[in-house]
Amino acid sequence: MDKPLLSGDKTKDSERWDSYQFLQRNSSSARNAFAGAGVTVEEIRSASAVSDPPSLYPPVLTTPVSLPTPQAIGYPSASGAGHELQRQVLDEIEIRELLIDHIGHRCCWGSRPARTWTIHSVEDCNVYVGTLDTFIEEREALTQTVPFTGGSFNGKKHGSEPELWQLDLRSQFPTLFVPYKETQVPVPNSETVEKCTGCTGRGDVVCPTCNADGEPGFYKENQMMKCAACYGRGLLAHKDGSDTICTGCNGKGKLPCPNCQSRGLIKCQTCIGTGSLLTSSTAVVRWKTLSKRKVSATRGAGSVPEEVFHRAEGVQLCNTQAYQCTPAYFADSYFLNKFSSEVISLRAEVPPTANVVCERHTISVVPLTRVTMEDRGKAFSFYIIGFGKEIYLKDYYPARFCWGLCPCLEWLKV
């Protein structure tokens, strides 16, 4: 059975909202949570089509009523260092005062509809956003090999090589829940010097040009190549039948190997001729935030103009941080308890090379109220947005007198 739109029992309602007090709150602001969540209007439209969470406020009236006495609908609010959720009272008088004040800034709008028309309905258009951020640290060992040119190196003679997760990286640790940070740190005492496997420590390898047909590991010196200009004759033939000495090989018909000058060996490109390689380990450390989000919206939120959401500020109903977050508990809201559990169940998969540093779980609500006023078969609607109780009224208002000719339209921004 529907309850009255604006209940006259303010004491009971106030006690109900004062019960929204949570442990493990951090010191971040409870307002403007929605703007930072990056929720798109498309997500809100989709969520409103598949879910219809129960209102945190009294039910919407679907029949015309008059409100002779102050009655209240609820807005969640955050106050104090603990950001305890309290009840803000919004009664019929304040609804009219907010609308009259908004109209008062329009030089050619009349206030009679705001003062006298009946409040037909007050509809909850809230949007709920739940997030679970998992902040992880991932470590991976990267082996690097470079030619060893001599000198000292940081090997095991200076101590044992620490395990990857034994490295102290507190000086590199970023702020919690940064999107991504990567750093590379040399692993102490991990350097070793070994013979080059490409040349077995000799610094030279067999020339593949002049010793291509030789046995592996053996080479021949002074291997000559046939001169390509004279085809090994030493002479160049001309069309008149005469021959001249080939200038490319000086008449010898052969040339030394262009790759090794007929030495039979060339410098090893792996060790640059040193015969030794220096191998070391580098720890690649990545910090990143894995985020999961769920949006739930009332049916009414699906028809809210996009501009309203751009103006709205969110309210955090809970903000907890722990090594592993558990669902939040709301003493008098089964929906929020269930919604929190669903968000927690979306927990991101952590790679096997990573450890979880901590998690952050938030639930935010965008307080939006749509008020419809009616008189003699005519009606218009407007929105009351968030804590600031900003009025959004852009379309039809029955007492406009400028007829599109008033210069106020040049500065009017609704």
Kindly give, in sequence order, each residue whose CB lies less than 8 Å from that of residue 413, ignoring residues fewer than 6 positions away: none
- Token match 């947005």: residue? 385
- DSSP track, 164-227: GGG---GGG---TT-SEEEEEEEPTT--EEEE-TTTTTSSEEE-TTTSTTSPTT---SS-EEE-
265 φ, ψ (degrees, to nearest 5): -130, 150
Please report whether residue 80 resides in a domain.
no
Are 5 and 63 in contact by the 8 Å Cβ rule? The answer is no
> Quick check: is 74 in a domain?
no
For 350-365, how does the pLDDT look when each residue is reduced to its tens digit (9 = 90+)?
999 999 999 999 998 8
Domain that holds residue 380: 88-126+367-407
Scan for tokens 């940070």, then name that residue: 181
Task: Please tell me the distance from the alpha carbon of residue 341 to that of residue 273, in angstroms, as a whole number.
Answer: 64
Whether the pLDDT of residue 109 is over 90: the answer is: no
Which of 267, 292, 319 terminates a domain? The answer is 267
Domain membership flag for residue 26? no
Question: Which of 249, 267, 285 is the last residue before a domain boundary?
Answer: 267
387 in a structural domain:
yes
112-166 residue pLDDT tens: 888 889 888 888 888 889 999 999 999 999 999 899 888 888 887 788 888 989 9
117, 373 contact by CB (below 8 A): yes
Asked whether the beta carbons of 122 and 379 are under 8 A apart, the reply is no
pTM of the model: 0.67
pLDDT in tens, 184-238: 999 998 888 999 888 888 888 888 877 777 666 667 777 788 887 887 787 888 8
Note the residue count of the chain. 414
Count of domains for the chain: 2
Distances (CA, A) of 281 to 16, 171, 196, 285, 377: 60, 20, 18, 13, 80
